[in-house]
Amino acid sequence: MAGRVLELRVHGVSNTPPGQVLGLRPAPGVTTPAPWLVAGGPVTGFYRSPATGPDDPVVVEAYSWGQLTSGARTARDVERALWTLLLPFALANVALHARPDVPPDPDAERWNSRSGLTAWLIRLFCLSLTGTLTLALTGVGVDLVGWQCVDPGCLGRIPGPWEFLGRGWWSGGARSLAVGLLVPLGVLAVLGLVSWRSYQYEAQMPAEPGAPPAGRRPAGAPWDGPGPPGAEPPPDPPENPLQGRTFWTGEGQLRRSAVLHLCTGAVVAAAVPLGAVLAADPPLGPRAGLAWSTVAALAAVVLVAVVASARPWLTRRAGATPLGGWSVAVGLLTGVGLAGTLLVLLLPDGPSGTPLAELRPGPSCAPHPGGPSCPADLSLPGFDRVVAWLGTGQLFLLLAIGSVARSGRRALAAPAAAAALLAAGVAWTSGWLPGPPGTLEPWTFVVPAATLAATGLLLPRVPAPAERQPPGPRTDLAWGGRAPALIAGFGWLLCVSYGAGLLYWVANRLNGGAVPQGRVPVVPPTPVTWAGLAFVIALLALAATAVRAGLLLLRLRRQEYAELASPGHPLSAHDLRRCRDVSAWRALHRLVGEHAVRLVGWYAVATAVLVVLGCAAVLSRRPHPPAPAGGAAVVEWASGVGDWLLAWLPVLVGTVGLLVYRNDLARRTMGVIWDVGTFWPRTAHPLAPPSYAERAVPELRTRTAGLLALADHHPRAVDGIILSGHSQGTVICAAVLLQLPARARRRIWFFSYGCQLTRLHGRVFPGYFGPDRLPVLAEALTPPGGETHWTNFWRGTDPLGWPVRAGERDVAVHDPEALHPSDGEVADPPIRNHGGYPEAPEFRRERTRVAWLLRRRVPVPRQGPG
């Protein structure tokens, strides 16, 4: 294959079939042969057309990676569908990569720097997000089942032989709580097992081909200096984090982080029943030693997790490194804490010898929940406060993340002062501080404290030391540098919705299908009763945002239509109709590129206000939203609708996840969102869905470097490679190019089309594709004294493709080619918008030019003596 050029195409989201990527089109009545696999396997493979001939000057090859995320129906599709339930963890993981000043060299990052402090806060938030999921599962197993569901009729509605919890020895004290604790621990075990199996992605290591033989250097390539011809000079310090050799191989880091998260989740699950029992029945005598030793072991796990989240052994990616002594110690402490918790819960007469029958709802409360012997709050003692304060703490943590990411360490003063104000207000109203007793309640301090904390988000933004001017209009930082908090916040709200929906759904089933409102035998925690109303308000705000986007689209469409329909000469009715079609796509292109980020920001502001008010509401410990005068029916109806929606939300998400792998349209639609979110490695949350790039980038790097290292006489040798990426494939190709050695990049030309590297990725992930990082890729593709080996294609009708303007060649692709048929055609030229770039004349002309440039050779300079 000497003298030939290989165009290696990488598709975008939604798993485009290899035949479509190669441009194979069946003729009428003729079955087109399937593309043949030349490298890889059935999950990820490299395909070529069966019509490829030995004399073709340009050979087209397609790399198919879509089976990793949105593949066709296989035996593992159910497992992949379950990843949809972990979307909150995926968003929290993405937040770490949205920091505006990610250091190029991770070893140079310091904990007290802006990037290091933001990363630590995000990792703490990810730990708390694992705690949120565990708390919801603990509420199901420990509160709803082990504490409230005490009569045989209620227990009979649970699949399995659970009636023994309501009879005899198991019905007394806190022993049924020990059985309910198996629910969160079992789910954590399943998550750990699934994450462990998915480490195969992070374990992919790119092969290192040998140096290319003498005589294989393109035109303009300088002599490499002393040593054998083609030898690679020592690598320069990285200028982009994607240049790190272990960026895509973090198996060891993932295992260590998973140990911390799973152990932290187990501690949260154990702390709920243990804390409730110890508060209601303080231990005495020898039992106190067991109880407080257990508390100390559980507290030690949390302390180690908080400290370890900032330590290099957890924050650095170093390949397949072992777990280490700290991970083993955390696992042992967690085992000791769980064993102690189970012993305390299984004591015959409680920790101090006093049964808990007077605190637990009796069997008579099931048929008559409003009886005089039934407590007003049927939930596990203290569980409501744990849920409310965990959510409030996460709110302040998000405000701190956004403030520090935008304005550095100085912005941490506002959230810290707000947290201190809230703590002092709670202590004063509770009588823990000297002075007259407070007449206010703790929830009244939430809104002022959150307002004070939010002032940190308004401080002037601190630019990065090497930050350059944006390369084009609307390429500045998304949301003013607050992207980590916004993305993590959406993940948090989704996680809270999952948890509230799960608690509502289980409570409905235990109540025999009745809606858990009013005095029913089994009720979810009091803070959850506010979730339905808040969910409806959030949906209304989302609908208002969608309406605003629709109005903007109509206005932009009118502008584009006025420009298209006024060419200076009259147009036919057919052409005017086509102008309406084209103007719709051009308007959508402008809407996404000019207004999408701002619309998401306004929705985030409305949601933040709702969250602050919701935190104040749940801390008020009122079981139901108060209805305003004259609006009781509306509030009651909205709360009921929200409760019903939340109750079926987990089921709906799971159903959609299964549908994604049974329906092509659903798979492609959901894949657009899913493939973008799971591109980044799991450096913040190890229980998130696996990153497909952990496998795709090493495989592409191995394939590209291996072909370029072949000798001239090898039948598969090539003069050069056109690395051609579409949509999300451009992001994968950019990561591959930054991983390749310089000797390989000299013989590569980068084609990007449908590219979001500036308008979306550059704004949301400036640490990798921002104004000071994207030029690194352009410089890496520029040989000394030559032009940049990068051509970007874009269309005015492509909603996801824009110019890049980072020093490369931008080519505008005309779409459609004409408003009406011509040259004997009867059908209108199609509006290709986001697809069909390789079929465009501009693409073919540029590929011919680039292939000629890559095939040029120069003689090897004569090596000097010695």
Q: Which amino acid is at 537?
A: I
Task: Please state, in angstroms and rounded to a whole number, the distance separating the CA atoms of residues 153 and 137.
Answer: 22
Task: Please state, in angstroms and rounded to a whole number, the distance separating the CA atoms of residues 332 and 780.
Answer: 48
In this prediction, residue 434 carries a pLDDT of 67
Give Cβ neighbours of residue 311 (< 8 Å, ≥ 6 apart). none
Bridge partners (DSSP) listed for residue 262: none
Task: Please state, in angstroms and rounded to a whole number, the distance separating the CA atoms of residues 298 and 860.
Answer: 67
User: What are 138's two structure tokens?
Assistant: 């603990």
User: What are 262's two structure tokens?
Assistant: 């799973």
In this prediction, residue 620 carries a pLDDT of 84
Task: Please state, in angstroms and rounded to a whole number, the distance separating the CA atoms of residues 713 and 182.
Answer: 64
In this prediction, residue 208 carries a pLDDT of 65
3-state SS assignment for residue 9: strand
Q: In this structure, are residues 567 and 549 in contact, taking their beta carbons and an 8 Å threshold?
A: no
Parallel/antiparallel/unpaired status of strands 790-794 and 809-812: parallel
Closest CA to 634 of 507, 537, 516: 537
User: What are 28's two structure tokens?
Assistant: 């009428």
Query: Exposed e or buried b for every residue in 465-490, given b needs 16+ CB within 10 A?
Result: eebeebbbebbbbbbbbbbbbbbbbb
Query: Exposed e or buried b for every residue in 826-854, given b needs 16+ CB within 10 A?
Result: eebbebbbbbbbbebebbeebbeebbebb
φ, ψ dihedrals at 215, nearest 5°: 90, 5
Give Cβ neighbours of residue 759 (< 8 Å, ≥ 6 apart). 474, 475, 592, 593, 802
Query: Exposed e or buried b for every residue in 93-120, given b needs 16+ CB within 10 A?
Result: bbbbbbbbbbbbebeebeeeebbbbbbb
In this prediction, residue 624 carries a pLDDT of 65
Beta carbons within 10 angstroms of residue 430's beta carbon: 12
Q: What count of Cα atoms within 13 Å lies in the side-chain half-sphere of residue 448?
A: 11
pTM of the model: 0.90
**Three-class HEC string of 341-353:** HHHHHCCCCCCCC
User: What are 826's two structure tokens?
Assistant: 């009867």
Q: In this structure, are residues 90 and 689 in contact, taking their beta carbons and an 8 Å threshold?
A: yes
User: What are 281's two structure tokens?
Assistant: 């029945």
**DSSP conformation letters of 255-321:** HHHHHHHHHHHHHHHHHHHHHHHHHHS---THHHHHHHHHHHHHHHHHHHHHHHTTSHHHHS--SS-
User: What are 154's two structure tokens?
Assistant: 């209620």
Task: Please state, in angstroms and rounded to a whole number, the distance separating the CA atoms of residues 828 and 579.
Answer: 12
**Three-class HEC string of 653-677:** HHHHHHHHCCCHHHHHHHHHHHHHH
CA 653 vs. chain centroid, Å, equals: 16
* pLDDT under 70: residue ranges of the chain: 1-2, 26-32, 70-82, 168, 172, 200-205, 208-235, 348-377, 433-439, 464-469, 471-472, 513-520, 624-632, 654-673, 807-808, 856-866
Alpha carbon separation from 16 to 671, 700, 727, 855 (Å, rounded): 11, 17, 11, 30
φ, ψ dihedrals at 240, nearest 5°: -140, 135
Q: In this structure, are residues 764 and 483 in contact, taking their beta carbons and an 8 Å threshold?
A: yes
DSSP character for 478? G
Alpha helices in 690-833 (DSSP H): 693-708, 728-739, 742-745, 761-764, 766-769, 774-780
**Three-class HEC string of 837-854:** HHHCHHHHHHHHHHHHHH
CA 538 vs. chain centroid, Å, equals: 21
**Three-class HEC string of 355-422:** CCCCCCCCHHHCCCCCCCCCCCCCCCCCHHHHHHHHHHHHHHHHHHHHHHHHHCHHHHHHHHHHHHHH
Task: Please state, in angstroms and rounded to a whole number, the distance separating the CA atoms of residues 268 and 454.
Answer: 28
